[in-house]
Amino acid sequence: MPELPEVEITRRGLAAALSGQRIVRVVIRNASLRWPIPKQLAALLAGKTIREVRRRAKYLLLDCGDGALIVHLGMSGSLRILREGCAAAAHDHFDLILENGVMLRLRDPRRFGAVLWQDGDPLTHPLLAGLGPEPLSDQFSGAVLHKATRGRSASIKALLLDSRIVAGIGNIYANEALYAAAIRPSAPAGRLSRGRCERLVIALKQTLEAALAAGGSSLRDYVASDGEFGCFQLQYAVYGRANLPCPQCSSPVRALRIGQRSTFYCACCQR
DNA sequence: CGCCAGGCCTGCACGC
DNA sequence: TGCGTGCAGGCCTGGC
């Protein structure tokens, strides 16, 4: 569930609590996430100091100087800042306990998330090395999207979800941004004009910023690191709104599947 | 009960 | 041959 805005909200909460703190203990209750949590992680992390908390796409990077803990929340993961000793509940798989008594706890019912270690620069990890530009950075522009989509016959929505084109766009925000840009999700990416690429990139950035301002989207499992819920789901124009009226023209929102993912759009407003 | 869900990797068949 | 492409499947639990 957590998409880029939710991961960024989490990052901000973690940065305030974890930066500069030393790790004293690691608890692994269930190592079987998407990939197994390395069993030597407990020994490896003890004594390290978290320098800063970064994000690349939907990966959180706890930078320890000589390497980084890489955390992905998958579909149902959340990270909470708690006090050491707080009782673990179901699906609380992993804890980091810090010198000052603060505890970082990962909960992930579906276990599609990941906790990994990368020596040195975490951006060299195979999962991160091939990622495209960050959508909120200046590295991602209409010109960049236009160039990346030339010659591609796949739908624009499929390519927005391709992390090699742009990193960390999830299904909700792909749907919402295409609506905001008035572009049909099924449109062949290679035929989008330069102007429409510009408009889409602006819409994508605005959609992500609006979600950040609303504290992200809380659908089922997501909570911020302080336990707060996001409320951007109240602002969805099309996502999850099959047959409900389009906010602009009131015609019913259509639902279909593109690349195995639920897709929603207004056939009147999006061309 | 079956079906669906915010992610994302792997592998396959197919067509150019 | 080697891509790009669209699928299917896999990993899981929980909610409807």
Going by pLDDT thresholds of 50, 70 and 90, the confidence category of residue A220 is confident
Residues 6+ apart with CB under 8 A from A82: A102, A103, A104, A105
Q: In percent, how much of chain A has pLDDT > 70? A: 100
Span CA (A2) to C1' (B13), Å = 33
Span CA (A204) to C1' (B16), Å = 32
Give residue-wise pLDDT tens across range A149-177: 999 999 999 999 999 999 999 999 999 99
Determine contact, residues A10/A2, Cβ cutoff 8 Å.
yes
Span CA (A102) to C1' (C10), Å = 36
Give residue-wise pLDDT tens across range A69-103: 999 999 999 999 999 999 999 999 999 999 999 99
Span CA (A154) to C1' (B16), Å = 14
A34 touches strand C (CB under 7 A): yes
Distance between first and last Cα of chain A: 28
pLDDT score recorded for residue A179: 97
pLDDT score recorded for residue A221: 77
Q: Mean pLDDT over all residues of chain A?
A: 95
pLDDT score recorded for residue A95: 97
Going by pLDDT thresholds of 50, 70 and 90, the confidence category of residue A1 is low
Outline where DSSP puts E strands in chain A.
23-28, 52-56, 59-63, 67-72, 78-83, 92-98, 102-107, 114-119, 254-258, 261-265
A90 touches strand C (CB under 7 A): yes
A111 touches strand C (CB under 7 A): yes
Give residue-wise pLDDT tens across range A110-148: 999 999 999 999 999 999 999 999 999 999 999 999 999
Q: What is the mean pLDDT of residues A34-42?
A: 94
pTM of whole model > 0.75? yes
pLDDT score recorded for residue A107: 95
Task: Point out the residues of A that are catalytic.
Answer: 2-3, 58, 261
Strand B nucleotides within a 7 Å radius of protein CB atoms: 4-9
